Amino acid sequence: MPTATDFKDYYAILGVSKTATPEEIKRVYRKLARKYHPDLNPGDNDAETKFKELNEANEVLSDPEKRQKYDRFGQHWNNPGYTEAPPPSGTNVGTTDFDQYGDFDSFINDLLGRSRRKTPTGGFDDFNGGFRSQAPAPDTEAAIALTFSEAFHGVQKRLQLDDETINVRIPAGAKPGSRIRLKGKGRPSPFSQQRGDLYLTIEVLTHPFYRFEGDNLVCDIPIRPDEAVLGAEISVPTPDGSVTMKVPKGVRSGQSLRLRGKGWTLPKGGRGDLFAKLQIVTPQDLSAIEQEYYEKIQANTSFNPRTQLEEIKL
């Protein structure tokens, strides 16, 4: 019979409360999976163990049905007298007797559909009174971290799943949160040895210059005050090289200019757009002539950007 020390608190492993929303669980899992991912912690056995625990916790808590069963039975799993409430009339649902589990892993394997459960008569049940000859092969969830360059261009990766090395091709244009299915690459069923599928969730590491905003690629481009006032032609980095971009007269700080076809690689081919967000940067160290001309502009300008503020009252 399992003991209290066998119990794994998946909420504590993820560091969330039992009332955490699915969105919160997903956000926390992604953050921690990136932190402890084996690719980012080579040779760190503790990080690898933590990463496996996170995956197992997420596999249960991210699935509404599995989470409900875990919440319902988890705190009572070591009580041999605990059973489910009586089923509605006309149904044929077996009771849940935790005395039949040898340890907590057996309980979790059953909760995740990884194994069958033996009935007192020697058969196997599936919670609806039917006979089941073998459990379905379990699917496996894992995360994989990519650099911006790897995600943009596509890459071949080698993954270690238990004792097996798996080669996987990540297509160009993978985005954060996208999933890749590797058919027949999951863990085998303990009964049939048939393998489930492996689902990889893509994590893209932060880039110092580019970022995603929805489906678009965005970058910040600094410009001088005179370039904002008079317009200019400036050089802008893109994923496949610098291009010349025309800045029109009178642009505002924070205004975005679109560079069509210079953004992220699209999974079905082609390119998205790159948005260059302009940031007007004032010079800190002026030469004597710059100081003189700025003073002349200040003395002779009639432009007042704060005119509307004069009407503001409480």
28, 49: one domain: yes
* Predicted local distance difference test score (pLDDT) of residue 225: 96
197-224 mean pLDDT: 93
Where residue 131 falls among pLDDT bands split at 50, 70, 90?
very low
Out of 56-65, 149-158, 212-221, least confident range: 56-65
Asked whether residue 307 is domain-assigned, the answer is no
Q: What is the mean pLDDT of residues 18-22?
A: 89
Record the tokens describing residue 210, joined without a space: 């580019």
111 and 22 assigned to the same domain: yes
Long-range CB pairs of 182-190 (<8 Å, 24+ gap) are 185/140, 185/161, 186/137, 186/138, 186/139, 186/140, 187/114, 187/137, 187/138, 187/140, 187/161, 187/162, 188/137, 189/114, 189/134, 189/135, 189/136, 189/137, 189/138, 190/109, 190/114, 190/115, 190/135
- Residue 33 CB-density burial (10 A; 0-12 exposed, 13-18 middle, 19+ buried): buried
**In b/e form, how buried is each residue of 42-59, taking b as 16+ CB within 10 angstroms?**
eeeeebbebbebbbbbbb
Amino acid at 262: K
> Within this chain, do residues 164 and 234 fall inside the same structural domain, yes or no?
no
CATH of the domain at 200: 2.60.260.20
Same domain, residue pair 239 and 276? yes
162 and 275 housed in the same domain: no
Q: Has residue 243 been placed in a domain?
A: yes
Q: Within this chain, do residues 97 and 197 fall inside the same structural domain, yes or no?
A: no
193 lies in which domain range?
Answer: 140-204
- Total number of domains constituting the chain: 3
Question: Over the Cα atoms of the chain, what is R_g?
Answer: 29
Domain boundary among 204, 231, 260: 204
pLDDT in tens, 138-197: 788 888 999 999 999 999 998 887 778 888 999 999 999 989 999 888 877 766 678 888
Helices (H), ranges, 40-144: 45-61, 64-73, 104-111
In this prediction, residue 127 carries a pLDDT of 38
Is residue 242's pLDDT more than 80?
Answer: yes
Cα 154 to Cα 102: distance, rounded to the nearest angstrom: 45
* pLDDT at site 164: 83
Q: What is the largest CA-CA distance in the chain?
A: 98
Instruction: State the average pLDDT for the chain.
Output: 80
pLDDT value of position 67: 84
Write the DSSP symbol of residue 284. S
**Beta-strand pair 232-238/164-170:** unpaired
Same domain as 75, residue 49: yes
At what angle are helices 45-61 and 22-36 packed, to 10 degrees? 160
Predicted local confidence at residue 46, as pLDDT: 87
Task: Please state, in angstroms and rounded to a whole number, the distance separating the CA atoms of residues 312 and 309.
Answer: 5
Q: Are residues 276 and 241 in the same domain?
A: yes
List 166's β-bridge partners, or say none. Answer: 159
In the predicted model, is pLDDT for residue 126 greater than 70?
Answer: no
